């Protein structure tokens, strides 16, 4: 049970940071949009966990766990580097007296680097379709994490349920503390990468 809870917290950390960024930019996330974000993230996590569980019945467990350890460490490292890139983007935007535009990138990459890019129409309200785009872009890490954690005997349904609840809570907390977090002018998504590496090592050793 603790593994499912910890995994849900890791997955919901990106959602919290995205909600904080939206709050700081005074972009409202309606309840339905919040539900869409949490649902998509939870479903993707559950499906990826189930997929890896089935894959583990075909591939020897030792190979699966070793591969999972390596890939999770790689994902955690990439997340940390993504955090560094985001921090650089924020600093460049601050030096230019505003937010740095990412129009030269594709929508998915833009959202991956700047969560607020999902507000395509600049309406200051995240629509259901925009929430879905944000959730899909942010769920790449969830999918990869789920695929590699399924070998550890983690229950997909319980994990998805916890992820759903954690996602809704993360959006609410992000809305409340967004301006305080964003005022620090640092990207904290590296914390999720660090926790992922710790989770991978602990799961492998146990």
pLDDT tens profile 160-176: 999 999 999 999 998 88
Domain count within the chain? 1
Q: What is the pLDDT of residue 175?
A: 84
| Band (99; pLDDT cuts 50, 70, 90) | very low
pLDDT greater than 90 at residue 38 = yes
| Band (14; pLDDT cuts 50, 70, 90) | confident
DSSP string computed for the chain: -HHHHHHHHHHHHHHHHHHHHHHHTT-B--HHHHHHHHHHHHHHHHHHHHHHHHHTTTS-HHHHHHHHHHHHHHHHHHHHHHHHHHHHHHHHHHHTTSPPP-TTS-HHHHHHH-GGGG-TT--SB--HHHHHHHHHHHTHHHHHHHHHHGGGT--HHHHHHHHHHHHHHHHHHHHHHHHHHHTT----THHHHHHHHHHHHHHHH-
**97 compared with 147, residue with greater pLDDT:** 147
Kindly state the average pLDDT of the residues 34-56. 89
Range of the domain at 133: 2-205
Q: What is the pLDDT of residue 67?
A: 76
Q: What is the pLDDT of residue 169?
A: 94
Q: What is the pLDDT of residue 126?
A: 86
Q: What is the pLDDT of residue 117?
A: 61
**51 compared with 72, residue with greater pLDDT:** 51
Q: What is the pLDDT of residue 96?
A: 47
pLDDT tens profile 118-139: 566 678 888 898 888 888 877 7
pLDDT greater than 80 at residue 41 = yes
Share of the chain above pLDDT 70, in %: 73
Q: What is the pLDDT of residue 167?
A: 92
Averaged confidence pLDDT in the chain: 76
pLDDT tens profile 174-204: 888 766 665 555 666 777 778 878 877 776 6
């Amino acid at each position: 049970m603790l593994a499912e809870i910890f995994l849900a917290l890791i997955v919901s950390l990106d959602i919290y940071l995205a909600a904080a960024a939206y709050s700081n930019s005074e972009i409202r996330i309606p309840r339905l949009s919040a539900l869409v974000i949490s649902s998509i993230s939870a479903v993707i996590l559950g499906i990826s966990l189930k997929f890896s569980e089935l894959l583990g019945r075909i591939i020897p467990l030792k190979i699966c766990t070793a591969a999972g350890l390596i890939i999770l460490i790689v994902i955690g490292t990439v997340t940390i580097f993504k955090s560094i890139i985001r921090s650089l983007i924020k600093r460049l935007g601050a030096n230019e007296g505003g937010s740095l535009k990412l129009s030269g990138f594709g929508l998915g990459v833009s959202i991956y680097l700047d969560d607020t890019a999902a507000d395509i129409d600049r309406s200051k309200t995240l629509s259901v379709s925009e929430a879905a785009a944000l959730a899909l872009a942010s769920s790449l890490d969830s999918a990869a994490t789920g695929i590699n954690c399924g070998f550890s005997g983690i229950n997909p349904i319980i994990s998805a349920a916890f992820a759903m609840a954690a996602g809704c809570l993360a959006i609410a907390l992000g809305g409340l503390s967004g301006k305080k977090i964003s005022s620090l002018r640092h990207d904290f998504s590296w914390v999720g990468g660090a926790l992922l590496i710790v989770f991978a090592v602990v799961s492998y050793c146990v």
